Amino acid sequence: MNKISIIIVLIVFFYSCRNKEKTLPTITGKAGEVVVVIDNNLENLEAGQALKKILTKEVDALPQPEPTFDYINIPSNAFTNIFKTHRNIIICEINKSEEKGKIIVKKDVWARPQIFINIIANNDSILNKLITDNEKLILSSILDAENQRIVDNYTKYEDKIITKEIAKKYDISLKIPKGFSLDLAKDNFAWISHETPQISQGIFLYYYNYTDTNQFSKDSLIQVRDEFLKKYVPGPRENSYMSTEHNYEIHYHEFNIDSMYIARLVGLWKVEGDYMGGPFVSYSTPDIKRNRLITIEGYVYAPRFDKRNYIRQLEGILSTIKVL
């Protein structure tokens, strides 16, 4: 192939990709839903049950049981165009010509921004092993896609005034969407919230001197959390204040956002001296330049509603953190 042909092919390729982006419809479906295309006979076998169990296992640290995803089963002969635009799709199938079995993860197959997972094997036993061995891949692919949609939406509708105030006062960048208000801005503590008559979503930002890596231990982070909340977050009654619910498990996890170390806590909060409570998620990271340990966290108060999607919305905001 000569140079002119290569250039023409590349132009056609990039034009096709851009044209596809323009023509694909917007995704459908609700946050947290997964359409699983699997025939009933396969769904009832070991592999089908394993996949359903993975997708519907309980979310950590919610007051009431809620599944990781809302599972929607569609038999293959019913998988028509109306379902192909769904935000999260898994096709699970037996293909006798498939020798080893494979998992294919793609984006934007029938809609944008869509995640598509195809799980293929030539028998139920191999399919089951493929699913159980790749639980983390399956879950993270969908969770990451859900989180990115939240981030993209909040970036589109960012409250630039609050974002600039946070950056100027605390040297921290967070994508705060419109509808939130900056309720409190002390020297080392900020409280940002979105309030409706029935639901409260809030974000705390605080920092303190960083001297030792042991400060990132689970117990240390919880202890400091309780100290800040007692000082800055009063409850509705006299002498009441927010704290951590220690009678339920607090989950601890370490990971990186780009090259930034994060210690993540998820658990339940309560109000000492009152009956309020709900879930929280916190991210803690070191600011080596300024010798401080930064924590940002989100909490939800929604006593009459499921809380999974509300806490995920807040974690989407937390995931945009950058130390300036």
Torsion of CA 110, 116, 122, 126, to 10 degrees: -170
Number of domains in the chain: 2
Q: Which residue has the tokens 């130390």?
A: 323
- The candidate with the shortest Cα–Cα distance to 75, out of 104, 122, 42, is 42
**Do 110 and 166 fall into the same domain?**
no
> Which range marks the domain in which residue 63 is found?
33-155
Tokens of 239: 């002498």
AA letter at 140: S
Is 60 within a domain?
yes
Q: Does a structural domain hold residue 18?
A: no
Q: Do 141 and 180 share a domain, yes or no?
A: no
Say whether both 111 and 184 belong to one domain. no
* Spacing of C-alpha 214 from chain mean position: 27
Beta strand pairing status for 172-173 and 33-37?
unpaired
**pLDDT per residue as tens, the chain (324 positions):** 443 333 334 444 444 455 555 689 999 999 999 999 998 888 888 999 999 999 999 999 999 999 999 999 999 999 999 999 999 999 999 988 888 889 999 999 999 999 999 999 999 899 999 999 999 999 999 999 999 999 999 999 999 999 999 999 999 999 999 999 999 999 999 999 999 999 999 999 999 999 999 999 999 999 999 999 999 999 899 999 999 999 999 999 999 999 999 999 999 999 999 989 999 999 999 999 999 999 999 999 999 999 999 999 999 999 999 999
If asked whether residues 111 and 188 sit together in one domain, one would say: no
- 221 shares a domain with 299: yes
Global pTM value: 0.90
- Whole-number Å distance between alpha carbons of 47 and 92: 9
Q: How far, in Å, are 2, 3, 42, 194, 286 from residue 62 at the CA level?
A: 61, 59, 31, 20, 27
Reduced to 3 states (helix: H, G, I; strand: E, B; else coil), residue 218 is helix
For residue 86, count other CB atoms closer than 10 A to its CB: 23
Assign 241 to helix, strand or coil: strand
Is the domain of 164 the same as that of 147?
A: no
Q: Could you say which DSSP state residue 199 is in?
A: -
Residue 168 and residue 210 in one domain: yes
Q: Is residue 237 part of a domain?
A: yes
